[in-house]
Structure 1
Amino acid sequence: MLEAKVALCLRLAQDAREQAGPQQAATLARLQDELEQLRGASRPVVRVAPADALLEIDPDGFLIGWNHGAEQMFGYSELEALGQHILFLYPEDDAEASVLELHFKQGDVATDVRRRKKSGMVTWLRMHRHVIHDQAGKACGMAVRLSAMSEPLSDVDKVRLHARIIEDSEQAVLITDAEERIVSINSSFSRITGYSPAEAIGRTPDLLRSGVHDPDFRAKVRAAMRGHGSWRGEIIGKRKNGELFPQDVTISVVRDEYGEISHVFSLFSDISVHKDAEARMQRMANYDSLTGLPNRCLLNQLVDQGLAEAKRQGTHGALMVIDISRIGSISDTLGHEVGDQLVIAIGQLFRGSLRDADILARVDNSKFVVALLHIEKREHAANVAQKLLNLLEAPINIDAHALHVGASIGITVYPEDGLEAPALFRFADVAVAKAGQSIESTFLFYREDMNRRAKEHLRLESEMRLALGDKELELHYQPKVSLASGRIVGAEALLRWKHPMRGMVSPGLFIPVAEETSLILELGTWVLDEACRQIRNWEDRGLDMPAIAVNLSARQFDEQLPARIAAVLERYQVRPDQIMLEITESLLMRGADKVIDIMNQLVAMGLSLALDDFGTGYSSLAYLKKFPISTLKIDRSFVIGLPFEENDCAIARAIVTMAQQLRQEIVAEGVETAEQMRFLRELGCDQLQGYLFSPAVPAAEFEVMLGDGKRLRLGEAVV
């Protein structure tokens, strides 16, 4: 209809241009009437209730429209109101800074206002405003509707309204009486917990008790239920189906006219969804989205905790920044999906090779960080770094691609390099940048002296592996001499390394390195095999062989040890009584029941056990009574001061007395002087071992000693 009106007006305007005189005047008059009708049609239609006042004002605030409802509401007739400014309806004490009806920019809004009637009475009204626009879209006025405010609710209506609000609330409502019996619940309670009104009313809130909270927590909740102030917090509840769920709970009380608690009401919401979302946000904030490893934020927190622990305990640790090479070029060539899968695979390789307590984080596209929060020696960080580099030597298969990558590793250790995380990370970054200048994958410590020690450590390990295959290792035998007869009654097989370039390498250098790696297992196997082979050789040549003692590392002591030893004895046809196994005190601390079982198996095979370096570790009568040990060896550190150092004399005397009570044989190590020998003999020591009689010698020299019947002259010196 509006389009037809517009078309008619356009046609009348065209006709008027072509006419003149009275005919033109008549056409223009009709055009004016049509335009007036069109203007009225463009005004918004505002629906009003019978008692509503409808006003229209121009842009300056003067009234140009006043309906019958306005006459009834304010008492002014249309003739009295039209042409007046809207302010004539404002009360005199109105402190409003501006005329609300002229706020054209706010658009269509509703608000409560105070307005004055003709009688002078001021009343509250609900005002709705609607901006009127002309054909050009410009604001040309305001349509205002004023409605009388509703009457206050009656007490009955309030009760009904409050009941409806409680019933329709999204929060669960639980109301109990003074005896803590449930008297009312709402529909949300049933929806969240699964309990219907018939199942809940008459019972106590304990039907929701999960059992996960401690007594102190429950005491706080019960205090609120007894009126000691409102309480709000999180409680783990239990649904009817047994499922546990987190809830946000508010507990308050209702008191009667005497101030006594008549009811307790609890409002709670199921916040499982919020908790899940919170956990997801926490994970997003702390973990790398691609690999699932900790990100830099979480890494910083964990390292700070580790450094605080190191300060308290005086322990050592290390940080390693690992920069993987070729990630970018592989992603550019084969696509980012392949690059992402490669990063994931590298993360899994690294994680699988580290201890559970070690931290692995991804901090950049091609950068990982390893935090070793506890290491026994600084060189251990180099072992870990080399192990990670070794993992990357083999190709990594992603889809149909065999991908090769390398890495540069920068290492910083604490407390030597500091105990502040930012400085340690900066040092590791400096080291990795320097390591990256090398063509090959490598690692570097931040400090040069650490580099030298670590490289020497790894070089020894590498050369020892070659030594095993190149027959550079040999056994020397240090005789054990009876302090009763002076005769050789046994020997200890000691490993020696004859390096082709450096000559004899001290066991003090290479044995600790072997202990830190799997090499000690290979060396231990070789020593036992070589000792049995040599015994068989001597036996075949008619020598009457005493028992040969072989040292066992704690790492060799596992459930397969008896079977391995039995296999070697069988291979060389060596009797068990010809082998003595020497163990250290540290072994006795590793799961006593398991160790005792293995020891009993060894003794049952006919082997004898000696406790080496006694007194330097976890010496305890309880251990000596429990373990089937036949020989105690007094450590050389207690022998060196004999017979002049009072403390050494007291310790030696106590060890000998204790061993005699336990019917164990006593061997003193490191005996170098006749005075030491005489003192130990007088104490009742059974055997000695040391330079007084002989150092450890090659097999051929030991064979000559046995053949010649070399003896120790007990009252003098070496024969």
Structure 2
Amino acid sequence: MHDDKAKKPLAPLRGRSFSWPSAALKISLIYCFFSLLWIFLSDSLLEMMVSDIRILTFLQTVKGFGFVFLSTLLIFSLTYFYTKKMHSAQTHLRTLIDTIPDLVWLKDADGLYLGCNRKFERLYGARESEILGRSDYDFVDTELADFFRRHDRAAMYADKPSINEEQVKYANDGHTEILETIKTPMKDESGRLIGILGVGRDITLRKQRETDIKVLTQALEQSPVSVILTDPERRVSFVNRAFEDTSGYPAHQVVGRTMEFIDPQSNAPEIVEQIRDHLAAGKAWQGEIKSRRQNGELYWEYAYLSPVQTEEGEVSHLLVLKEDISLRKQQEQQLKHQAHFDALTELPNRVLIMDRLQQLIRDAERNQEYVVVMFLDLDDFKKVNDSMGHDVGDLALIEAARRLSGAVRGGDSVGRLGGDEFIVLAGHFSQKEDVQVVADNILERFRRPFDLGNREVLLTTSIGIAIYPSDGDTQSELLKNADTAMYQSKEQGRNRYAFYTDALNQSISRRLQIEGYLRGAIERGELMLHYQPQYDVSSQRVTGVEALLRWNSPELGQVGPDEFIPIAEQSGLILPIGRFVLQTALAAAKRWIELDPDFKLAVNISPAQFRDESLVSFLQEELAKHQYPASRLELEITEGILMRGGTQVEETLAALHEMGVCLSMDDFGTGYSSLSYLRKYPVDELKIDRSFVNEMTVDESDRELVNAAISLSRGLGLRVVAEGVETAEQLQALKELECGVVQGFWLSEPVPQEHIGKMLERQARLPV
């Protein structure tokens, strides 16, 4: 059907802008006027000039030919004039239509193209002459052509312009555009529908902008931060959902109203002024502010306020972005609190307390006053922690913090440095004697038992005191010297306070010196073992030895074990030293056990070694390595180890007992509950402390205590050893009390390894 019609293309209706009826009427009127004028004038003129009929007839004939010629020339001139005018109008119209950036086309009632402009030619990739008389079916697929036809017919039947959006694809380069089409029905003079005029405008960019605006609006609505848009007079034109949720104000209560973006009553005046100055100058401002919700609640926000300027630089809107940072501020406050306060006791920690000390020093320097630094350590807190558990230990620390806070003056500071160490800062003292009042008050508070989970525990404190400026003029120096004084108070018996002196500093220097040189002493070969023989009282034969550590330092000379062993305990060096002692002693005793199969080696085990979880496995490895029988090894432990109790102590004791290692309770009689330990733990031997042996020949009560210990051991089936025998009288007394084994300087001082071998060799040659 469409192909048949394409063979008879209709001429494009380009001239509808020029009025042919008007031109024809003008030509007809001119021709009529000319004809009438010719007839009347020519006839009258001939009659006046010629009277001869024959000549007149000839001239009438010539006049007729002249009329034909002149009328023809007149009609040609008029027609040429109006045709040229019409062509000029058509050219102007065509130029105008082709200049239009929109697509323009004309179809007849059957959908065949009657005309189009150049922009439309690019759509189908064909010249106008190739488009005329053809339909959309000749250029696009059937589905799209049907779409165009439906909209064309809808426009024609509507009898009014129809506006649609249509997506088209250009044939020349394949790009697509969204067109807004206006299709207007075309009618002839009689009102008969003859076609449709279409104009298509590219709205792709507009649609993209509409999409972008829609996406932007959705993004603003879904944004987690509050978004507010106002005009220059601060009248709100837009708020998003986050603003409603955060502030509590619904949009309808805000939009159209003037709004203040910062609460002047809740923010610092300089912040309010700064914001106003920035906005007045057309500058953006950002920072933290306080805002108020609809319910009156204050909350923190991070705000960004920026004027929106036109291309001409004029402010058209004000954009406000706000983020609720209340949670972040709360977390910052928590972090700040955690950074400056102890989590357990809520007391200031080292960071904050040192800052306060610095401030006190500045004030004291200005006012010529004293500053007191008290360094406190809870006495025997470790025993509480180990025997009762860390939870109970925490309760003790909390109670200690409470008592300290209640013992000091209102302006003083109490802090926790860590573990069981506390610090008290006291300023504004005019005389040193007033310091003792505060220290005595603290000690008094600690004399009452601690109620720790239905258990009452006596927990005292030792206090070291340093005073500014006499004992130091810096934070670190005052703290160090107060710590030094605290150790002095512990050495003096605990539960007391001590003031810092220069002599104390020398003592600490000696301690630090010992600790420094003790590190690496094993590698440098400075540590050695001496052995003190143990004798059977009846036969006076050597039955074993106790390994005793000696240190000969090139820098310090001979350092006694009473001086360096406690330092090794406190510094953690006791673990490698203890392993060195066991390894060295077992290596030596391997030879001695060959000389006397009943020989026993006694080695002291420190509390730190006993807490070492690898102690049992280490002993197993060393005993196997040196092929030394476990039953001939005796580990001497103090009552303090047994006092701590706990699962770890019980498991270690049980494992050692199962191995066959003998366990000896050293310094028996100096504790207050030794008997309960004898019943509870697998102890094989009691070692009577030298303090009782030394006085037993001059003090009857000490003799009775030694006798009771020997009788108790015999009753429990335990071996008993008395140490510290220094006179013949003491040895005789022990012999009378039937003590089994003794050791002391009267019998033999500690000797090097080779001496023990010689003793055993001589003893082996003697008759039993």
Would you say same fold, with TM above 0.5?
no
Relative to the length of structure 2, the TM-score reads 0.39
Relative to the length of structure 1, the TM-score reads 0.41
Where is the helix percentage greater, Structure 1 or Structure 2? Answer: 2
